Every structure is written in C-alpha cells, then in structure tokens.
Amino acid sequence: MHEISLVANLFEILEQKAKEKKAKKITMVKLQVGTLSGVVPEFLISAFEIYKKETIASEACLKIKKIPFKIKCLKCQQEMIKDDFVLICENCGSRQLKVLAGTELILEKIEMEV
C-alpha cells in the first residue's frame, strides 16, 4: 500500500503551503487521481484520515476527482474513454495510440483558514 508514502509526501506539501500562507488550518484538499495512476482512492482516503490526526489538516476533508483513462488513435484521430485496458482503437482497430489522461496524480486545490 504505497498510498501511505504518497500521503506522507502530500502532508509535506500541505504543511509547506500552509506555512507560506500563514494558515491556521487546512480545511479541504482536492486531488485528481487517474485510473492508471496505480493509486486506490479508498486506500488514499484511509491513509489521509489516519495521517491527518494532530496536524494542521486535522479537520480537513479529502476530495478525490477520478480521471478516466482517455486515449487517442494516431491513425484515425478518434479519442475515446476506456473502461477496460484493451489498447486497440474501437474505431479502426489500430494499436497506434496515445494516452491523453488517466495516469495523473495532481494536487488540485487546498483550502485554508488564514
């Protein structure tokens, strides 16, 4: 479960940003998590809830925006969102594909009380 180390790194960023803004507390954290990021959102939430105790984010809620797996066929230019991991264009059958989204793990927003 590498989500614990991800949350530890996240809290380093949160504490740094809170210090920069002279925040009293962090109230909300929003992440974008891609389907292919290797992160299990439920584990990330659990790790966040455990890690936040006795920190500046002790009352914060974690919101996760799931980013679907999106690809583009380089042959026919068709873009598609995939629910499976079959890397074949549904339009022309090509395997010449480019991943457009779904691998990211992005800190999108931090809400703080200053």
Q: How far is CA 52 from CA 11, 14, 55, 76, in A?
A: 8, 11, 5, 47
Q: Please give the torsion angle defined by the CA atoms of residues 81, 83, 88 and 89, in that order, rounded to the nearest 10 degrees.
A: -30
Examine residue 27 and state whether it is found in any structural domain, yes or no.
Answer: yes
Examine residue 76 and state whether it is found in any structural domain, yes or no.
Answer: no
Count up the domains in the chain and report the number: 1
CATH number for the domain spanning 60: value is 3.30.2320.50
Examine residue 20 and state whether it is found in any structural domain, yes or no.
Answer: yes
In the predicted model, is pLDDT for residue 26 greater than 80? yes
Examine residue 86 and state whether it is found in any structural domain, yes or no.
Answer: no
Examine residue 89 and state whether it is found in any structural domain, yes or no.
Answer: no
Place of tokens 């629910």: 83
Examine residue 95 and state whether it is found in any structural domain, yes or no.
Answer: no
pLDDT tens-digit series, residues 43-87 = 999 999 999 999 999 999 999 999 999 999 999 999 999 988 789
Examine residue 10 and state whether it is found in any structural domain, yes or no.
Answer: yes
In the predicted model, is pLDDT for residue 19 greater than 60? yes
Write down the mean pLDDT value for the chain.
95
Examine residue 91 and state whether it is found in any structural domain, yes or no.
Answer: no
